[in-house]
């Protein structure tokens, strides 16, 4: 600032006053957290809070307290804590009460740098405890780690201070001296604060604060879904969305797009992977309506989903029937952002559980579950009582089909809420298409009426005979024919969508209700954390054909379907364990998910309960042991004392004292060794010994007159210790005289 | 420091200093510590600032020192109208030789008493301080050495501040030591009252050391051995003043050097050819205190001095002594 008036600045005393206020405010905030805890400390908090407030308003107050009180404060706090620990069965509340007392002590006494740091850590302790007991465990772990760091930090600072002896702690006398900064009035300070306030700076600081908080919040939301390997996350959002094949319609080629994407689409964590014999089909969406471009979810099915939309956290599967053979225990799904609004389901399930209340759409007729929109963040849900069945029960289908055939035209309003069953019979239209389809069906069936299962088997065999598997498809030209019909008519290779669509179209032409289903097939088991990694390249499509009675039967006509869509050789479940480094990194992510994704607070409550029980038990057992000990001591004392017992006791006491003395000596010796070791290697042993003797001769001599022997030997020792080496007297003789001088005292 | 301090020379130095001390004691009663520190300052080749009330014997101390050494003594009474040339000397045109001839000022003496140095204008002060730093006077581009030994004993009154120009910190740094005389003990004062003498001109002292002896002694100081841990001790004290919150700024590098030299001089005075930590401890107050200023305002210079000394004592108490 070259022109204009200079911005006024706070003096050092005013800054100290400000520091006092800030420290008090910090302490009050940390005390506030105690209200969140179920701890009997409210009266203590009230007392501490009012004392801190008083000290804030009148900073001179601590100087009125005589030094003896300050001297006694810490021992008193320790005594109170010990008594508290003894009387209360629970350790944790006692610890919290200790924390409150220490915060009070540190806040109402004058502080220097070290004490300020202590106050920060004490306040942090209370906040952390509140965090541990009230917020989720992941948060608690972070805070605990932070506290450990802060404690270490404080310890190091104290060590440095001890070494440099720069920030010298206040003595108790100084604690009772009113420092100059405490003298002015608070009102004046606020007037000065207003004077010196630089609004631009404050605006800047406020903006910075908001920015930091906003950025942290963003990071917090994004980090679990952030994959370092694939680069910047925004890019990932955008490309994933355009690549996804699992929308309400699947055009030919959509799924094969996905097959090239090796990134993980979802992770499935099983509590019990025993009994899992086959690699699961993860069913996402059933496409029941045929269009010349491909299959899509009919308006009726969408209507059913919409009609069955409930805000829920726990959804019981409707019409699933009894689960006969559940496997896998609880299945926890972590779906990456942008995969689909439909939830992958491995089979029939009993209960679907979400992390929080949110709108969930379900369809009983097609056994689908979906959110309203595709999630832009990681989504998680749990399934219980999962049965891996190729059947999708739909008991009402026959009746609905009959009803629809009888009333083809008038649609009641309720019909909008169920998929039109006639759609599952409608295929490509037009004479050209019909001719091809009728010929193919005749080829397959040989003109006979086959049951659905048999038809599916023969149709699959026919398809696999005519068409090989390939990821790229060249369709021959054909006037007036739909894509899928032209493919069927050719002997071009195809991929899963063509096979599934072809089978569906053929089944419909043969009069069997059928539909295309899209989802994932397979996935590899992560060997480190025992969960399924399902990649986008595991995307698959297959068909479902109605068995004519009560269920839709899964038919996978794609060649090598057992190996999912991959062209690898056959893999059984046990062989698809992934133990690569990528899997190792991926398993870290699941560990993180397991920590932060909570489906109910039950587990957390359990952990806290166990901690509480542990502290309770340890507290009470400590008390019991102490009581037993005092009782035994009393009994021992009351036993008659004869001469032999007295002698024995005296001998024992002497032995203990001797052992103690020896220990102390040993400690001293170790200390000296350590000191010697700590000094640089070149530090001369003669100098060290001379210094040692000087200390020993000096200490008692400060009180009385030095003896003649001392006067004689001390200059020589000094010369050995501090003098030039070339001028040294003979060291051993000097040390001998020093020993004599010491003995002469 | 590869040079040795030969034991014989150390012994003669000690004897010479004992003679000096005894001689000065005749006129300065009951102030042995001040005399010792003055001698340390002389040995170390430094300059002395005595800060005390008028009439406690500052001038007498300087005069006795000069007389005891057989050296030239001059006194400059600093006032606000004193000019730099009044201190350093001036070239005047000499008709007889037809050229400018340098007339040395009062600063050309071995012991110069600069009385009430803070009464002069900064320009005059700095003229003196330049001489202190370089032992040379430059007039009209010509350098004139003031001779050796050269010691300035400056005095200033810490209480009476009206119309003074306080020495800036950079110039305070030029003084090796700052001492306080203080009032004598009642017994000593009784003796002073009994003596017939009134002014310092009446002091009749015989020189007990020669100039060359003083120079030899000064040369010996540099040869006093300082062991590494003691140097480290000095370093720790200096560093501690730099981090102590009480002070505006810590001791400069020159201050650290001054402390080392003063400790060496004290060791030599006590007949040792090596420094012990006690030398450092006892010299720290006089050598360092005037180089430190408090970070906060105090009511007067006396209080500031007390606070600085207390803080310094605390630091010295806290820095671990090499053992």
> What are B77-109's pLDDT values in tens digits?
888 888 888 888 888 888 888 888 888 888 888
Instruction: Give the pLDDT band (50/70/90) at residue A167.
Output: very low
Q: Sign of the CA dihedral A681, A687, A693, A695? A: negative
pLDDT of residue A104: 92
- Does residue B239 belong to the interface with chain A, where contact is any CB pair within 8 Å? yes
* pLDDT of residue A58 exceeding 80: yes
* Cα B51 to Cα B55: distance, rounded to the nearest angstrom: 12
* pLDDT of residue A682 exceeding 60: no
Instruction: Give the pLDDT band (50/70/90) at residue A671.
Output: low
Q: Once rounded to an integer, what is the mean pLDDT over residues A404-414? A: 70
Cα radius of gyration rounded to whole Å, chain A: 41
For A634, phi and psi rounded to 5 degrees? -65, -45
What residues of chain B lie within 8 A of the CB of A13, using their CB? 296
For A385, phi and psi rounded to 5 degrees? 55, 60
Cα radius of gyration rounded to whole Å, chain B: 20
| Buried/exposed A649-666: b ≥16 CB within 10 Å, e otherwise | eeeeeeeeeeeeeeeeee
Whole-structure pTM over 0.80, yes or no? no
pLDDT of residue A586: 79
- Does residue A149 belong to the interface with chain B, where contact is any CB pair within 8 Å? no
Higher pLDDT, B166 or A376: B166
Nearest to B230 among A165, A695, A722 (CB): A722
- Does residue A718 belong to the interface with chain B, where contact is any CB pair within 8 Å? yes
- Tokens 């007036």 appear where? A480
State how far residue A166 is from chain B, nearest Cα, in angstroms. 6
Query: Do residues A165 and B319 lie in contact, with contact meaning Cβ atoms separated by under 8 Å?
Result: yes
Contacts of A415 (CB under 8 A, 6+ apart): A300
* Cα A665 to Cα B251: distance, rounded to the nearest angstrom: 41
* Cα A387 to Cα A732: distance, rounded to the nearest angstrom: 90
Instruction: Give the pLDDT band (50/70/90) at residue A161.
Output: low
**How much is the mean pLDDT over chain A?**
77
State how far residue A147 is from chain B, nearest Cα, in angstroms. 28
User: For A598-605, which contacts have Cβ atoms below 8 Å and span 24 or more sequence positions?
Assistant: A598/A136, A598/A355, A599/A332, A599/A353, A599/A354, A599/A355, A599/A380, A599/A382, A600/A353, A604/A136, A604/A137
* pLDDT of residue A572 exceeding 60: no
Q: Are strands A391-393 and A514-521 parallel, antiparallel or unpaired?
A: unpaired
Tokens of A391: 């059947």
pLDDT of residue A111: 81
Coil vs helix vs strand at B278: helix
Instruction: Give the pLDDT band (50/70/90) at residue A513.
Output: very high
Q: Test A164 with B274 for CB contact under 8 angstroms.
A: no
Question: How large a percentage of chain A has pLDDT more than 70?
Answer: 76
Contacts of A446 (CB under 8 A, 6+ apart): none
Tokens of A167: 């920030």
pLDDT of residue A728: 84
* pLDDT of residue B310 exceeding 70: yes
* pLDDT of residue A385 exceeding 60: yes
Tokens of A551: 């269920």
Nearest to B275 among A165, A694, A722 (CB): A722
Tokens of A219: 């990071």
* pLDDT of residue A270 exceeding 50: yes
For A607, phi and psi rounded to 5 degrees? -65, -45
Determine which helix (DSSP H) or strand (DSSP E) holds A312, and give its type and residue range: strand A309-316
CA A23 to chain centroid, in Å, comes to: 32
Query: Do residues A52 and A104 lie in contact, with contact meaning Cβ atoms separated by under 8 Å?
Result: yes
pLDDT digits 0-9 by tens, A301-355 = 888 888 888 888 888 876 656 777 788 788 889 888 778 888 998 888 888 888 7
Provide ipTM, 2 decimals.
0.80
Give contacts of A 8-27 with B, CB under 8 A: 12-13
What residues of chain A lie within 8 A of the CB of B277, using their CB? 722
What residues of chain A lie within 8 A of the CB of B240, using their CB? 164-166
What residues of chain B lie within 8 A of the CB of A721, using their CB? 227, 276
A529: left (phi over 0), alpha (psi -120 to 50) or beta: alpha
User: Cβ–Cβ contacts within 10 Å for residue A391, how many?
Assistant: 17
* Cα A387 to Cα A325: distance, rounded to the nearest angstrom: 6
Q: Test B245 with A112 for CB contact under 8 angstroms.
A: yes
Instruction: Give the pLDDT band (50/70/90) at residue B261.
Output: very high
- In sequence order, which ranges of B152-276 are alpha helices (DSSP H)? 169-172, 186-194, 211-221, 228-243, 253-269
Q: What is the DSSP letter of A562?
A: G
Instruction: Give the pLDDT band (50/70/90) at residue A653.
Output: very high
Q: Test B315 with A165 for CB contact under 8 angstroms.
A: yes
pLDDT digits 0-9 by tens, B199-232 = 666 667 788 888 888 888 888 898 899 988 899 8
* Cα A54 to Cα B13: distance, rounded to the nearest angstrom: 65
What domains, with CATH codes, occur in chain B? 8-214 (3.40.50.300), 224-323 (1.10.8.80)
pLDDT of residue A150: 61
For A19, phi and psi rounded to 5 degrees? -60, -40
Candidates A279, A378, A393, A369; CA nearest to A328 is: A279
Determine which helix (DSSP H) or strand (DSSP E) holds B310, and give its type and residue range: helix B301-318
* Cα A31 to Cα A48: distance, rounded to the nearest angstrom: 8
Query: Do residues A497 and A524 lie in contact, with contact meaning Cβ atoms separated by under 8 Å?
Result: no
Q: Are strands B151-156 and B48-51 parallel, antiparallel or unpaired?
A: parallel
* pLDDT of residue B308 exceeding 80: yes
Q: Sign of the CA dihedral A526, A531, A536, A542? A: positive
pLDDT digits 0-9 by tens, B269-304 = 988 889 999 899 999 988 998 888 887 777 777 788
Q: Once rounded to an integer, what is the mean pLDDT over residues A566-570? A: 38
Tokens of A728: 């040294």
pLDDT digits 0-9 by tens, B228-252 = 889 988 998 898 888 877 788 888 8
Query: Do residues B49 and B172 lie in contact, with contact meaning Cβ atoms separated by under 8 Å?
Result: yes
Higher pLDDT, A356 or A413: A356
Q: DSSP assignment of B46-115, as one string?
A: --EEEE--TTSSHHHHHHHHHHHTT--EEEEE--TT--HHHHHEEEEEETTTTEEEEEE-TT-SSEEEEE
Q: Test B240 with A164 for CB contact under 8 angstroms.
A: yes
Determine which helix (DSSP H) or strand (DSSP E) holds A54, and give its type and residue range: helix A42-57
- Tokens 């696999």 appear where? A464
Q: Once rounded to an integer, what is the mean pLDDT over residues B37-62? A: 87
State how far residue B296 is from chain A, nearest Cα, in angstroms. 7
Tell me which chain B residue has its CA closest to the CA of residue A719. B274
Query: Do residues B280 and B234 lie in contact, with contact meaning Cβ atoms separated by under 8 Å?
Result: yes
pLDDT digits 0-9 by tens, A12-46 = 777 778 888 888 888 888 888 777 666 778 888 89
pLDDT of residue B259: 93
Higher pLDDT, B99 or A237: B99
State how far residue A639 is from chain B, nearest Cα, in angstroms. 53
For A22, A279, A282, A328, A361, the CA distances from A571, given in Å and listed in that order, are 66, 9, 17, 20, 35
Strand partners, A526: A531, A578
* Cα A186 to Cα A171: distance, rounded to the nearest angstrom: 26
Higher pLDDT, A95 or A545: A545
Q: Once rounded to an integer, what is the mean pLDDT over residues A273-290? A: 82
Contacts of B187 (CB under 8 A, 6+ apart): B30
CA A728 to chain centroid, in Å, comes to: 67
A178-182, B86-90, B187-191: range with lowest mean pLDDT = A178-182
State how far residue B277 is from chain A, nearest Cα, in angstroms. 9
* Cα B293 to Cα B168: distance, rounded to the nearest angstrom: 11
State how far residue A162 is from chain B, nearest Cα, in angstroms. 9
Determine which helix (DSSP H) or strand (DSSP E) holds A300, and give its type and residue range: helix A299-307
Question: How large a percentage of chain B has pLDDT more than 70?
Answer: 96
Q: DSSP assignment of A353-421, as one string?
A: EEEEEEEEEEETTTTEEEESS--SS-EEEEEESBB--SEEE-TTHHHHHHHHHH-SS---GGGGGS--G
Higher pLDDT, A244 or A687: A687
Q: Once rounded to an integer, what is the mean pLDDT over residues A99-123? A: 85
Q: Sign of the CA dihedral A698, A700, A704, A710? A: negative
Tell me which chain A residue has its CA closest to the CA of residue B271. A715
pLDDT digits 0-9 by tens, B129-140 = 888 888 888 877
């Amino acid at each position: 600032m070259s022109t204009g008036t200079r911005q006024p600045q706070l003096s050092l005393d005013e800054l100290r006053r400000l520091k006092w206020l800030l420290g008090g405010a910090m302490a009050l905030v940390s005390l506030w957290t105690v209200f969140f805890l179920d701890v009997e400390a409210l009266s203590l908090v009230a007392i501490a809070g009012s004392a801190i407030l008083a000290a804030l308003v009148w900073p001179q107050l601590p100087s009125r307290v005589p030094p003896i009180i300050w001297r006694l404060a810490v021992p008193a706090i320790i005594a109170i804590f010990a008594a508290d620990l003894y009387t209360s069965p629970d350790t944790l509340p006692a610890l919290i009460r200790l924390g409150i007392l220490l915060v009070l002590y540190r806040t109402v006494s004058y502080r220097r740098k070290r004490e300020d740091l202590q106050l920060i850590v004490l306040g942090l302790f209370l906040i952390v405890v509140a965090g541990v007991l009230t917020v989720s465990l992941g948060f608690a772990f972070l805070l605990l780690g932070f506290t450990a760091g802060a404690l270490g930090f404080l310890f190091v600072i104290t060590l440095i201070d001890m070494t440099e002896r720069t920030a010298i702690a206040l003595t108790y006398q100084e604690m009772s001296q009113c420092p100059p900064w405490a003298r002015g009035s608070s009102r004046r300070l606020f007037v000065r604060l207003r004077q010196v306030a630089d609004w631009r700076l404050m605006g800047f600081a406020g903006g910075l604060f908001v920015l930091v908080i906003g950025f942290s919040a963003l990071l917090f939301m994004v980090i679990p879904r952030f994959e370092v390997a694939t680069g910047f996350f925004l890019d990932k959002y955008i490309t994933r969305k355009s690549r996804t094949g699992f929308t309400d319609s699947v055009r030919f080629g959509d799924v094969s797009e996905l097959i090239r994407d090796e990134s993980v689409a979802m992770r499935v964590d099983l509590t019990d992977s025993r009994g899992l014999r086959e690699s699961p089909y993860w069913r996402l969406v059933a496409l029941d309506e045929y269009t010349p471009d491909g299959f899509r979810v009919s308006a009726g099915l969408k209507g059913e989903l919409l009609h069955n939309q409930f805000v829920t956290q726990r959804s019981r599967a409707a019409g699933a029937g009894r689960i006969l053979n559940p496997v896998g225990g609880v299945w926890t799904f972590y779906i990456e952002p942008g995969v689909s609004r439909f939830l992958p389901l491995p089979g029939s399930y009993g209960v679907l559980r979400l992390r929080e209340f949110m709108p969930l759409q379900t369809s009983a007729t097609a056994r689908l579950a979906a959110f309203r929109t595709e999630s832009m963040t990681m989504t998680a849900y749990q399934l219980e009582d999962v049965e891996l069945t190729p059947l999708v029960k739909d008991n009402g289908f026959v009746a609905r089909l009959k009803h629809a055939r009888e009333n083809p035209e008038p649609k009641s309003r309720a019909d909008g809420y169920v998929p039109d069953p006639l759609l599952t019979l409608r295929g490509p239209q037009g004479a050209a298409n019909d001719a091809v389809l009728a010929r193919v069906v005749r080829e397959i069936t040989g003109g006979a009426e086959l049951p659905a299962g048999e038809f599916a088997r023969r149709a699959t065999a026919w398809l696999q005979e005519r068409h090989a598997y390939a990821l790229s498809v060249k369709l021959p030209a054909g006037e007036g024919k739909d894509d899928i019909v032209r493919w069927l008519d050719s002997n071009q290779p195809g991929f899963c969508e063509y096979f599934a669509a072809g089978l569906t179209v053929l089944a419909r032409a043969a009069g069997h209700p059928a539909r295309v289903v899209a989802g994932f097939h397979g996935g590899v088991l992560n060997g480190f954390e025992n969960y399924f990694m399902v990649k986008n390249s595991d995307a698959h499509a297959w068909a479902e054909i109605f068995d004519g009675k009560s269920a839709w039967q899964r038919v996978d006509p794609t060649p090598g379907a057992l190996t999912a869509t991959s062209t690898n050789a056959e893999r059984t479940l046990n062989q698809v364990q992934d133990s690569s480094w990528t899997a190792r990194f991926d398993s870290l992510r699941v560990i993180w998910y397991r920590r932060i994704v909570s489906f109910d607070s039950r587990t957390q409550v359990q952990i806290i309960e166990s901690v509480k029980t542990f502290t309770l038990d340890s507290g009470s057992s400590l008390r019991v042991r102490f009581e037993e000990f005092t009782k035994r001591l009393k009994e021992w004392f009351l036993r008659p004392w004869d001469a032999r017992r007295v002698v024995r006791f005296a001998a024992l006491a002497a032995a203990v004292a001797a052992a103690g003395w020896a220990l102390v000596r040993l400690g001293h010796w170790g200390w000296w060794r350590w000191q010697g070791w700590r000094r640089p290697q070149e530090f001369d042993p003669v100098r060290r010994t001379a210094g040692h003797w000087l200390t020993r001769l000096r200490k008692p001599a400060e009180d009385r007159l030095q003896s003649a022997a001392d006067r004689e030997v001390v200059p020589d020792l000094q010369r050995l210790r501090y003098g030039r080496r070339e001028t040294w007297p003979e060291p051993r003789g000097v040390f001998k005289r020093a020993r004599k001088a010491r003995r002469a005292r | 420091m590869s040079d040795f301090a030969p034991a014989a020379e150390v012994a003669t130095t000690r004897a010479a200093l004992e003679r000096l001390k005894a001689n000065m004691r005749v006129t300065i009663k009951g102030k042995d510590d001040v005399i010792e520190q003055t001698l340390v300052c002389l040995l170390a080749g430094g300059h002395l600032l005595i800060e005390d009330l008028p009439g406690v014997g500052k001038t007498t101390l300087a005069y006795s020192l000069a007389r005891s050494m057989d050296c030239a003594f001059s006194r400059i009474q600093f006032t606000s109208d004193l000019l730099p040339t009044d201190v350093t000397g001036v070239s005047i045109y000499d008709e007889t030789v037809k050229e400018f001839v340098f007339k040395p000022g009062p600063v050309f003496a071995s012991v110069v008493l600069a009385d009430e140095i803070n009464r002069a204008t900064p320009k005059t002060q700095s003229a003196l301080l330049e001489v202190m730093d370089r032992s040379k006077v430059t007039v009209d581009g010509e350098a004139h050495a003031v001779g050796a030994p050269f010691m300035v004993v400056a005095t200033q009154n810490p209480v009476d501040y009206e119309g003074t120009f306080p020495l800036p910190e950079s110039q305070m740094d030029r003084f090796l030591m700052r001492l306080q005389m203080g009032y004598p003990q009642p017994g000593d004062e009784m003796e002073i009252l009994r003596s017939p003498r009134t002014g310092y001109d009446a002091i009749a002292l015989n020189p007990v050391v020669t100039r060359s002896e003083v120079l030899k002694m000064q040369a010996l100081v540099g040869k006093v051995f300082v062991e590494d841990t003691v140097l480290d001790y000095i370093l720790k004290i200096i560093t501690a003043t730099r981090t102590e919150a009480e002070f505006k700024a810590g001791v400069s590098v020159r201050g650290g050097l001054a402390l080392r030299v003063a400790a060496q001089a004290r060791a030599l005075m006590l007949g040792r050819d090596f420094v012990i930590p006690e030398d450092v401890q006892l010299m720290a107050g006089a050598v360092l205190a005037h180089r430190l200023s408090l970070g906060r305002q105090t009511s007067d210079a006396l209080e500031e001095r007390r606070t600085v000394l207390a803080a310094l004592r605390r630091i010295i108490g806290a820095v671990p002594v090499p053992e």
